[in-house]
Amino acid sequence: MSENVPVPREGQTELEVIGVRHGMFGSGNAANGGSGDTSGYGRLVTPIALPPASTRPYGGEWFDEVADEFEGALEEQGVSPDAAIEKTVVDRDEITFHVRREHLVQAMRTLRDDPALRFELCTGVSGVHYPGDAGRELHAVYHLRSITHNRLIRVECSAPDDDPHIPSTVAVYPTNDWHERETYDFFGIVFDGHPALTRIMMPDDWLGFPQRKDYPLGGIPVEYKGAQIPAPDQRRSYS
């Protein structure tokens, strides 16, 4: 199994393996105690590895320039970059700043307003759930674009399952209103300070958060033109 662990890319330290996925969707093979995988890949075993912090120089045409300006701007505001930025990751020619949640709003405002940065547009908020990432199981991912400088970066912020609170960024990027609602709806991340944090896709009385990894894969049976479609874990297994 260790042979399948991805090799660190240039400028990265050792990859952080946080678990192992059995089957295509992590449900495992029914014979091994899982709920059954009907994808045909029930015996697939895949290590779950997160990219680690990258070392300087970050490369790219402008990654170091943006990182220097971001860290310098925070320092001018009296915020230690080491306190605000958990790590900086360059992976697949993209740069991601992992920002601690207590500094998220200030960091986002800095990225938006600093003349050398000017990431005026946040194109969305995505949620990710890593049950094996102890103490930071829930991740909110923000995709920022600078129209002024024609650049793209990513900001990532994490919270533990037992304290799923992350500050809302609607005051900085108003278009995040519905994006944060959707991330709350599917992942259960509570965006503190959001003007109306309610479900946006699921019914108000829905139990659970459907895109978390611990949400039951089986779902619910569906009736279609008089025919009953069983939940995935009740269908024929090909593994």
- Asked whether 128 and 139 are in contact (CB, 8 A), the reply is yes
The domain ranges of the chain are 53-206
pLDDT at 2: 40
Residue 182 has pLDDT above 90, yes or no: yes
Percent of the chain past pLDDT 70, that is, above it, reads 81
Phi, psi of 211 (to 5 degrees): -100, 10
Candidate CATH numbers 3.30.460.80, 3.40.50.2300, 3.40.190.10, 3.40.50.80; the one for domain 53-206 = 3.30.460.80
Question: pLDDT: is 234 or 122 the higher one?
Answer: 122
For 126-152, write each residue's pLDDT tens digit. Answer: 999 999 899 999 999 999 999 999 999
How far, in Å, CA of 11 to CA of 231, rounded? Answer: 44
- Asked whether 159 and 189 are in contact (CB, 8 A), the reply is yes
- Asked whether 39 and 26 are in contact (CB, 8 A), the reply is no
Phi, psi of 162 (to 5 degrees): -85, 0
pLDDT at 108: 98
Q: Which residue do the tokens 């611990």 mark?
A: 214
Between helices 63-76 and 104-113, what is the axis angle to 10°?
Answer: 120
Question: pLDDT: is 88 or 45 the higher one?
Answer: 88
209 alpha-carbon distance from chain centroid: 15
Percent of the chain past pLDDT 90, that is, above it, reads 62
Q: How many CA atoms lie within 13 A of 17 on its CB side?
A: 14
**Mean pLDDT score across all residues of the chain:** 87
- Asked whether 119 and 112 are in contact (CB, 8 A), the reply is yes
Residue 30 has pLDDT above 50, yes or no: no
pLDDT at 37: 61
48 DSSP β-pair partners: 19
